[in-house]
Amino acid sequence: MPARSRLRHQALATGSALALTLLNCFQPLHAAEDVALVSGAFIRSISVADLAYLAETGKARGLLSDLLRLGKQDPQNVAKLLNQELDLPLVLTSRLMSTKIGDVILRRVAKIIYPLRVPEPSVSVPAIRAGVINGLQIGEGGLNMVKFLEAYPADVMEINLPALMAAIEKAESIAGLVKFFSDSPLDGLKESGQ
């Protein structure tokens, strides 16, 4: 890429990050209040405050307590997942989410999470971008699930459970495939043939 084009991209990314920072300084942060778990006609909402409480104390309350008990999940383990932090540079993350590959990834994630009853990518993709960027600002470069929810710009974030389960199955099958080939018996054949 020519130096002039590279400089223009860097200036655009820096300007975008600065604009987001300034906008957030002058506007109140709008955060998700509930997470709606949806599967067909089934819908159950969990308050973000209950998730934050679980992340902070390791103890579940309200409907979340019932769901964890029914799912035979240990609240301590779920709290660890909620607190698992990713360290991401704000400007680089913003730039990556604006690339073609970033857009493809965001569109796939947007099939799983989106504002309640608004799965259109024209709404859900910018909401995810905003949640990530604003969450990174809240966390000063670190992002976890609670910070993302606190920065998500819709009152209720929907999680499409069938889409989530399909993604988990796909990830597990890919992990199994990688493990199969990494533990491949062909390695022994290569060593004996040399």
Query: What pLDDT sits at residue 22?
Result: 40
- For the whole model, what pTM was predicted? 0.74
Phi, psi for residue 31 in degrees, rounded to 5 = -125, 155
Q: For the stretch 43-69, what's the b/e string if a residue is b when 16 or more beta carbons lie within 10 angstroms of its beta carbon?
A: eebbbbebbbbbbeebebeeebeeebe
Q: What are the distances in angstroms from CA 45 to CA 67, 146, 159, 167?
A: 11, 16, 10, 21
Query: What pLDDT sits at residue 60?
Result: 95
Q: In angstroms, how far is CA 186 from the centroid of its own chain?
A: 37
Query: What pLDDT sits at residue 186?
Result: 53
In eight-state DSSP terms, residue 50 is H
State how far the Cα of 87 lies from the Cα of 139, in Å rounded to an integer: 9
Task: Give me the tens of pLDDT residue by residue for the chain, a chain 194 residues long.
Answer: 566 555 554 544 444 444 444 444 434 456 789 999 999 999 999 999 999 999 999 999 999 999 999 889 999 999 999 999 999 999 999 999 999 999 999 999 999 999 998 999 999 999 999 999 999 999 998 999 999 999 999 999 999 999 999 998 888 888 777 777 777 555 554 455 55
Query: What pLDDT sits at residue 13?
Result: 46
A 10 A CB-CB count for 84 gives 11
Which residues make Cβ contacts (< 8 Å) with residue 161, sequence separation at least 6?
A: 37, 38, 39, 42
Is the Cα torsion angle 21, 22, 25, 29 positive or negative in sign? negative
Supply 112's token pair: 């799983």
